[in-house]
Amino acid sequence: MSEVQTSTPAEPEASAQQPVKPIAWPAGIAGVVLVIVGSFLSWSYDSSILNDLSINLYPGGLQILAIIGALLALVLLLAERGPLTALGSWLDATLGLRALGLGLTLYMVLVIVAITVESDGLINVNPGAYVSLAGAVLILVSSRMLPLRQLRDLSQARLPGWVEILAISVMMAVILFGAAYALGLTDAWSFILCLLFIGTVILALFRTGVMTWFGHVAQRHKKVLTLAAFVVAFFFPFTQRGSDANMSIACQVLIFAATAMGLNIVVGLAGLLDLGYIAFLGSGAYVAAMLSESAFSTIDWHPPFVVVMLLGAGTAATLGLIIGSPTLRVSGDYLAIVTLGFGEIFRLAMFNLDGINGPLLTNGPNGIPGIPDLEIGNFNFGDEHTVAGLDLGRFSNYYFLLLLLIAFVILVFARLNNSRIGRGWVAIREDEKAAEAMGVNVFGLKVLAFAIGAFLAGLAGTIKAHQDVAVSPDQYIFLESAFLLAAVVLGGMGTIAGVLLGATILKLLPEKLRFFSEYRLLLFGLLLVLMMRFRPEGLVASRRRQLEFHEEDEALAVAVEEELVEEAK
């Protein structure tokens, strides 16, 4: 690797205080061997649980994950002492090994718990699981005996451009196949174990510094990363073998993400707390339903879907102006209360537009069912299609349409964020009085944020109505607005990747972990509390946002200042 600034690894102070124990490295190697050997042995006596881990010398999916974890630990051990020591001068192998050791230990403990619970007894755990557990514990103990070292700054490492692009491509391919494998797990315990393994690997990569380096590579090749991400998203339906279950979840994630991206303009950029945002999604859905060819449609006019999208989005934007104009004179908690009330007013209005309490538009609590599938030209989104010998069902068709929508929403957000309007929103978020004193049209930009965010949500709503086949008032309750806001906060306010990640987590996990449905809100609240405590800026936060929460971090302040200088150039 080459460096931007020449530096040499300094002798670590920790090494002088913590001498290397000769047994540490061999113990780690022995742990790797035990994990691999144990994974080739049977873990469970019962073949009907955890996708069959009962066959010797034929590892199941969860056993293969353990083998992958052990091989990653082997790479870090060889970087610590062995043929990969040149790499070890850059990687923080010890911290990465500690994360892997702890993660693998928890993974094996949870495997034993899952087998015990699913098969009604610890006696059904076969020796292979205990062998792998012993190996994981040995890796963890070994990592604690290895000394910490002072390393060169991996973020300064540069590789040839084609190598960095190849690294992006490999990362995207791993994400594609990893997501396909995880979503293909129908057993809840297997899915939880897979999530634990993925979290362990990600944590280890962060601790070694690899993810920091990858972040800098992504910044240098933004266009390549964006293109690779959309290629991965495009090929995702082809990995599902025609399964409608996972594609239905994927469609819901994209609708949720597009709506959350619109809310990100209001909350993330302009700093306006909106607790009734789901009403804008619902307005677009109801417009599409009323103009559809459903037998329960209340308007005898069925324009092309492009016109319907514009009408639905325009209606939502108009509602945004209506709620924004009189209420944006207030701020903070008062604005939150007003928007919360608006969301409830919308839901109750949909109940009362039933021809009895008001005009016949929404059929009241019955909603508008029987909405036909979209048909654009000769292409019917309800029909199955075969591409390259692979079946693509109804939800795959809507998935590709939603992929175009999310691309449009991301483009709008990115352009606005980097524009004069975006800078005005950020100024309002930081200090409204100071922004007004500097000549920023505070009220106008606030109303514009509401209108544009509502417009994007309305677009998503028009597609949601056809994909769901029905609309009803109980789909647009306050809890949905709370989840949208949580997706923005959890992922990282004001960022694109963060909101997409937050929306995916909050929409995917409840669908895959239905046996936790009674405790969903409890887990959701616990997750937010932990996030506010350990990472208040969100999972994927911009440098500026991080600095707001970590003002004492001098290194971060320097990095932010350098980014501002580069932007000014």
Flag whether pLDDT at 565 surpasses 70.
Answer: no
Q: In which band, very low, low, confident or very high, does the pLDDT at 66 lie, cut at 50, 70 and 90? A: very high
pLDDT 10s digits, 123-171: 889 999 999 999 999 999 999 988 877 666 676 777 788 888 888 889 8
Q: In which band, very low, low, confident or very high, does the pLDDT at 13 lie, cut at 50, 70 and 90? A: very low
Question: According to the model, what pLDDT value does residue 80 have?
Answer: 83
Q: In which band, very low, low, confident or very high, does the pLDDT at 273 lie, cut at 50, 70 and 90? A: confident
The mean-pLDDT minimum among 85-99, 191-205, 223-237 falls in: 85-99
Q: Is 372 exposed, middle or buried (0-12, 13-18, 19+ CB in 10 A)?
A: middle
Taking residues 47-60, what's their average pLDDT? 90
Question: According to the model, what pLDDT value does residue 4 have?
Answer: 40
Question: According to the model, what pLDDT value does residue 137 have?
Answer: 96
Question: According to the model, what pLDDT value does residue 20 have?
Answer: 58
3-state secondary structure 345-394: HHHHHHHHCECCCCCECCCHHHCECCCCCCEECCEECCCCEEECCEEECH
The mean-pLDDT minimum among 80-89, 250-259, 271-280, 316-325 falls in: 80-89
Q: In which band, very low, low, confident or very high, does the pLDDT at 8 lie, cut at 50, 70 and 90? A: very low
Q: In which band, very low, low, confident or very high, does the pLDDT at 17 lie, cut at 50, 70 and 90? A: very low
Question: According to the model, what pLDDT value does residue 243 have?
Answer: 74
Question: According to the model, what pLDDT value does residue 338 have?
Answer: 87
Flag whether pLDDT at 3 surpasses 60.
Answer: no
Strands 375-376 and 379-380 come out as antiparallel
Q: What b/e string do you get for 236-263 counting C-beta neighbours within 10 Å, with b at 16 or more? A: bbbbbeebeebbbbbbbbbbbbbbbbbb
Question: According to the model, what pLDDT value does residue 6 have?
Answer: 37
Question: According to the model, what pLDDT value does residue 549 have?
Answer: 60
Q: In which band, very low, low, confident or very high, does the pLDDT at 244 lie, cut at 50, 70 and 90? A: confident
pLDDT, averaged across the chain: 85
Q: In which band, very low, low, confident or very high, does the pLDDT at 5 lie, cut at 50, 70 and 90? A: very low
pLDDT 10s digits, 290-323: 999 998 998 888 899 999 999 999 999 999 888 8
Residue with tokens 């036909």: 372
Question: According to the model, what pLDDT value does residue 325 have?
Answer: 78
Give φ, ψ of 549 to 5 degrees.
-95, -15
The residues that bridge with 157 in the sheet, in sequence order, are: 3
pLDDT 10s digits, 442-468: 888 989 999 999 999 999 999 999 999
Find, among 328, 320, 293, 321, the residue nearest to 308 by Cα.
Answer: 293
DSSP element (H, E) containing 193: helix 188-208
**Cβ–Cβ under 8 Å, residues 446 and 324:** yes
Taking residues 409-436, what's their average pLDDT? 89
Question: According to the model, what pLDDT value does residue 9 have?
Answer: 41
322 or 399: which leads in pLDDT: 399
In one-letter notation, the amino acid at residue 316 is A
State whether residue 84 is helix, strand or coil.
coil
How far apart (Å, rounded) are the C-alpha atoms in residues 139 and 21? 14
Q: In which band, very low, low, confident or very high, does the pLDDT at 326 lie, cut at 50, 70 and 90? A: confident
115 is written with which tokens? 């087998």
**C-alpha of 149 from chain center:** 33
Flag whether pLDDT at 552 surpasses 60.
Answer: no
Question: According to the model, what pLDDT value does residue 14 have?
Answer: 40
Most confidently modeled range among 222-226, 237-241, 400-404: 400-404
Give φ, ψ of 158 to 5 degrees.
-125, 135
Q: Is 52 left (phi over 0), alpha (psi -120 to 50) or beta?
A: left
